[in-house]
C-alpha cells in the first residue's frame, strides 16, 4: 500500500465549478501536510499547507482529519488556469516527504 | 536568487551505460531530496540527505542506484548500469528545516528527463 493515496482522476469540470480532491495517508506518525501543484512537464510547486483547523487561501480550502488520516482540497469557482495535477504530501518525523501520485484536473471553458 | 539547479536537463543513453545526474541545492538549505517520477508510479522518494548525510535511502530501487552529497552545494545520483525501466524524470529538491515553524517549503529543480534505450 502506498503511504499517500489519491484518486488519479482525471477530473473534468466546467469553468466556475467546485471540485474536491481527497487524499489518505497510512503513516500515523505523519506530522505535516501540504498540497502541491504540478503543471504539465514542470516541477511541483507548493500550493498550500494543510492544518487541522482547516485553512483557506482565496478559492482554495484545505482540511485535515487526523483521526481518519484524511486530507482534502476544495477549489471553488474553477478557472482554466487551475488545470494541473494536484499532489498530496505527508511529512513524517525526520522530514521524510512523501508525495501522492497526484490527481489530474482539467477545467474546460 | 538561483533555485535548485539540475543537470543534464535531458539525457538519452543506451542500456548498460552509466548515468550521472547532478544537483545544486539552494544555498542555505540543509535538506536535499531525490525523487523519480513516472506516469505509472508517480513521484517516488529515492533518498534524502540532511547536512550532507543520507538519512533514508529505502526508496533507492536497487544496487544499481547510488547517491552522494560530498558538500552542501552538490549532490549526484548515479545509475550503473542503466536499464530501460529507469526511464523517468528525476527531480532534486531542497528545503530548510524551517525552525520552530516546522518543515519549510520544498523547492524543486526543473528535473532531468532520462531515456534509456
Query: What pLDDT score does A94 carry?
Result: 77
Mean predicted confidence (pLDDT) in B11-38? 97
Comparing CB atoms, the residue among B103, B105, B108 nearest residue A95 is: B103
Q: Between chains, do A43 and B50 touch, taking CB under 8 Å as contact?
A: no
Q: Between B2 and A38, whose confidence is greater?
A: A38
pLDDT for res A52: 85
Distance to chain B for A2, nearest Cα, Å: 10
Q: Which of A64, A97, A103 to mutate: most B Cβ within 10 Å?
A: A97
Q: Which of A67, A71, A34 is nearest to B102 (CA)?
A: A34
For residue A44, which residues of chain B lie inside 8 Å, CB to CB? 43, 91, 106, 108
Q: pLDDT band at residue B38, thresholds of 50, 70 and 90?
A: very high
pLDDT category at B6 given cuts 50, 70, 90 is very high
Confidence band, pLDDT 50/70/90 cuts, at residue B28: very high
Q: Is the pLDDT of residue B97 over 90?
A: no
Question: Comparing B104 with B47, which gets the higher pLDDT?
Answer: B47
B41, B42, B102 ranked by CB distance to A32: nearest: B102
Q: What was the pLDDT predicted at B99?
A: 57
pLDDT at B79: 97
The whole-angstrom separation of Cα A50 and Cα A63 is 6
With an 8 Å Cβ cutoff, are A94 and B56 in contact? yes
Residue B9 CB neighbour total at 10 angstroms: 10
Cβ neighbours of residue A99 closer than 8 Å, sequence gap 6 or more = A4, A36, A44, A87, A88, A89, B35, B42, B43, B45
Across chain B, mean pLDDT equals 93
Mention every residue, 6+ apart, whose C-beta is less than 8 A from residue A6.
Answer: A21, A22, A23, A87, A88, A100, A101, A102, A103
Residue in chain A nearest B45 by alpha carbon: A98
DSSP B18: -
Share of chain B above pLDDT 90, in %: 86
Please, what are the averages of pLDDT over each run of 10 residues along chain A (109 residues)? 89 97 94 95 95 91 95 97 97 89 96
Across residues B37-43, what is the average pLDDT? Answer: 93
Q: With 80 as the cut, is the pLDDT of residue B103 above it? A: no
Please name the residues between 64 and 83 in chain A that touch chain B, using a CB distance below 8 Å: none
**Which of A31, A94, A101 lies at the smallest CB-CB distance from B42?**
A101
- What spatial distance separates the first Cα and last Cα of chain B, rounded to whole Å? 36
pLDDT at B1: 65
Amino acid at each position: 500500500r502506498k503511504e499517500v493515496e489519491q484518486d488519479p482522476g482525471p477530473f473534468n469540470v466546467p469553468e466556475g465549478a467546485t471540485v474536491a480532491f481527497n487524499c489518505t495517508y497510512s503513516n500515523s506518525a505523519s506530522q505535516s501536510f501540504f498540497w502541491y501543484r504540478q503543471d504539465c512537464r514542470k516541477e511541483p510547486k507548493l500550493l498550500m499547507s494543510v492544518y487541522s483547523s482547516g485553512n483557506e487561501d482565496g478559492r482554495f480550502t484545505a482540511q485535515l482529519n487526523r483521526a481518519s488520516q484524511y486530507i482534502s482540497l476544495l477549489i471553488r469557482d474553477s478557472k482554466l488556469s487551475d488545470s494541473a495535477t494536484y499532489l498530496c504530501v505527508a511529512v513524517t518525523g525526520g522530514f521524510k516527504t512523501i508525495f501522492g501520485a497526484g490527481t489530474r484536473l482539467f477545467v474546460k471553458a | 536568487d538561483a533555485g535548485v539547479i539540475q543537470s543534464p536537463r535531458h539525457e538519452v543513453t543506451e542500456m548498460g551505460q552509466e548515468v550521472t545526474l547532478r544537483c545544486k541545492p539552494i544555498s542555505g538549505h540543509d535538506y536535499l531530496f531525490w525523487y523519480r517520477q513516472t506516469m505509472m508510479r508517480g513521484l517516488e522518494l529515492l533518498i534524502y540527505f540532511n547536512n550532507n548525510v543520507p538519512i533514508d535511502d529505502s526508496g533507492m530501487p536497487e544496487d544499481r542506484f547510488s547517491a552522494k552529497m560530498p558538500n552542501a552545494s552538490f549532490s549526484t545520483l548515479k545509475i550503473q548500469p542503466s536499464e530501460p525501466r529507469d526511464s523517468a524524470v528525476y527531480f532534486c529538491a531542497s528545503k530548510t528545516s524551517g525552525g520552530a515553524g516546522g518543515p519549510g517549503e520544498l523547492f524543486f529543480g526543473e528535473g532531468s528527463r532520462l531515456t534509456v534505450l
